[in-house]
Amino acid sequence: MSRKMFALVSMLTIIAMILGACQRAPAEDKLEIFSWWTTGGEAAGLNAMYEIYKKDHANTEIVNATVAGGAGSNAQAVLASRMQGGDPPDSFQVHMGHELIDTWVVADKMENLDDLYQSEGWVNLFPKGVLDIVSFEGHYYSVPANIHRANVMWYNTATFQQLGIAAAPKTFDEWFAMAETCKAAGLPALALGDSGPWTSVHLFETVLIGTLGAEGYKGLWTGATAWSDPMVTTALETMDRMLDYVNSDHAALSWDQANQLVIDGKACTTIMGDWVDADNLAKKFAASGWAPAPGNEGIYDALSDSFGLPKGAKHSDQAKDWLRLVGSKAGQEAFNPVKGSICARTDCDPNLFGPYLQSAMEDWKTDTVVPSLAHGAAAKSGWVQTITDAINRFVTERDVASTQSGLATACVDAGVCK
Ligand code: GAL
């Protein structure tokens, strides 16, 4: 080959390579989704939605921005600093209710989603109670992916059988009787993993509900029930007694590690939200038993994970398609059976769900619904934070009187109590 010919061929080869590379160039389109879903069941749920999104958006690269830590205990601080710094993700996980409205909507950080609600027909597909808490002054601000139940007691049926515990305890008295049986066998009755400070608040809210009942508990968030009420004293005393039966390494464990103690037969129960069902599924643990937390029968302590569109999102078209998917039947039917939650929509097929979730669907229809404290539904974030600090101090110091007076002051500081 002549020199000239060689140069020409080389040039053509380089051009062909450049053209090929251009065709294969990574897609410009991106979608950044921010959440704290990193444990097995949580990630499985998120991935189920990503898979559907990818099928319909082959050219969009999904950036899975997660910050580990249950209940968003770490993620929320990272999100706040990104939002303040003008670097919002395209869409982020946010609890429906106070967390969405008081933290983001009132601060004018979220886009109004009324158009999507109209075009997707969601105004007729989500229950009225749900529509009410994703809206503010008549406009919609986030799309609920699910409904979770917080007040569930989980146990290992094989452990109960070995210890001769015939039925799941329903009342606190029955729970303490069960706890003594476990103690006699050398097992903690209650697996707690409060390395994330929210889990002891989670436990406390179920004890409050079990002691005050639905109306009394709801009144704590409106000022109708006084935090100085003797029933709150009883709730703190009951929680104090329960803490006598927890695993000694609780401060070093996360919620899912606490659940692992139950799975391994090393603890009798754990009181946690129904993301435990997803954890059990991901860990292929089939011998799980469940019941409402003591005294919580007939009450659904609810929360919902939703996604919104922050103002200034860099890929808002992609984010709107994501939100369409989150609210769709296909999205909710793929996500919820593996996430341990039920659909926020009313038209999902129950046959796609396992036995726990089928029972939750039935309870959701008939139970009295109350808002979760630890998961953004009952109170605004600043108030939740003060309660979290007080309850974590309580877990170490076990001082009922000073905790109760701290809780009463927190309600006044939140502007709800006089
Ligand atoms: C909740 C959230 C659930 C689950 C749980 C544990 O706040 O709503 O989806 O992820 O935290 O991380």
Cβ 70 under 6 angstroms from ligand 1: yes
- CA-closest candidate to residue 254, choices 192, 203, 188, 207: 192
Cβ 376 under 6 angstroms from ligand 1: no
pLDDT of residue 171: 98
- HEC per residue, 166-186: CCCCCCHHHHHHHHHHHHHCC
Write out the two tokens for 325: 């998917």
The residue to mutate among 148, 274, 279, having the most atoms of ligand 1 within 8 angstroms of its beta carbon, is 148
Mean pLDDT of 198-215: 98
pLDDT tier, 25 (very low <50, low <70, confident <90, very high otherwise): very low
Distance (Å) of CA 354 to CA 244, 274, 340, 351, 412? 34, 12, 9, 8, 43
pLDDT of residue 266: 98
pLDDT of residue 10: 55
Query: Ligand 1 center to residue 381 CA distance, Å?
Result: 15
Domain 30-147+304-366 has CATH 3.40.50.1980: no
Write out the two tokens for 169: 């305890």
Ligand 1 atom 7 nearest Cα: 71
- CA-closest candidate to residue 237, choices 357, 404, 71, 371: 404
Distance (Å) of CA 258 to CA 191, 253, 271, 289? 5, 6, 10, 15
pLDDT tier, 28 (very low <50, low <70, confident <90, very high otherwise): low
Mean pLDDT of 87-105: 97
* Beta-carbon contacts of residue 113 (< 8 Å; ≥ 6 apart): 139, 140, 141, 142, 143, 308, 309, 323
Residue percentage of the chain with pLDDT more than 70? 93
Cβ 305 under 6 angstroms from ligand 1: yes
Amino acid at 228: S
Residue percentage of the chain with pLDDT more than 90? 93
Cβ 302 under 6 angstroms from ligand 1: no
Ligand 1 atom 5 nearest Cα: 71
Cβ 333 under 6 angstroms from ligand 1: no
- Give yes or no for residue 6 having a pLDDT over 90: no
Domain residue ranges of the chain, discontinuous segments joined by +: 30-147+304-366, 149-302+373-413
Amino acid at 407: L
Query: Ligand 1 center to residue 377 CA distance, Å?
Result: 12
Query: Ligand 1 center to residue 274 CA distance, Å?
Result: 9
Query: Ligand 1 center to residue 303 CA distance, Å?
Result: 9
Buried b (16+ CB within 10 A) or exposed e, 306-322: bbbbbeebebbebbbbb
**Atom number in ligand 1 closest to CA 275:** 4
The residue to mutate among 305, 339, 341, 373, having the most atoms of ligand 1 within 8 angstroms of its beta carbon, is 305
Domain 149-302+373-413 has CATH 3.40.190.10: yes
**Atom number in ligand 1 closest to CA 42:** 10
Ligand 1 atom 8 nearest Cα: 305
Query: Ligand 1 center to residue 387 CA distance, Å?
Result: 18
pLDDT tier, 39 (very low <50, low <70, confident <90, very high otherwise): very high
**Atom number in ligand 1 closest to CA 95:** 8
Query: Ligand 1 center to residue 70 CA distance, Å?
Result: 6
Query: Ligand 1 center to residue 19 CA distance, Å?
Result: 46
Mean pLDDT of 182-198: 98
- Give yes or no for residue 291 having a pLDDT over 90: yes
- Give yes or no for residue 19 having a pLDDT over 90: no
Question: In the predicted model, what is the mean pLDDT of the chain?
Answer: 95
The region of weakest confidence among 10-14, 39-43, 282-286, 315-319 is: 10-14
pLDDT of residue 148: 98
3-class DSSP state of 341: coil
Helix (H) or strand (E) holding 307: strand 305-308
Q: In what order do the strands lie in the sheet with 61-66?
A: 61-66, 30-35, 91-95, 305-308, 143-144
Q: Determine whether 164 is exposed, middle or buried from the number of CB atoms within 10 Å of its CB (0-12, 13-18, 19+).
A: exposed
Amino acid at 148: H
Q: In what order do the strands lie in the sheet with 299-303?
A: 148-149, 299-303, 368-371
Query: Ligand 1 center to residue 27 CA distance, Å?
Result: 32
3-class DSSP state of 12: helix
pLDDT in tens, 331-381: 999 999 999 999 999 999 999 999 999 999 999 999 999 999 999 999 999
Query: Ligand 1 center to residue 97 CA distance, Å?
Result: 15
Cβ 375 under 6 angstroms from ligand 1: yes
pLDDT in tens, 215-267: 999 999 999 999 999 999 999 999 999 999 999 999 999 999 999 999 999 99
Q: What pTM was computed for the model? A: 0.93
| Fold agreement (30-147+304-366, 149-302+373-413) | yes
Ligand 1 atom 12 nearest Cα: 70
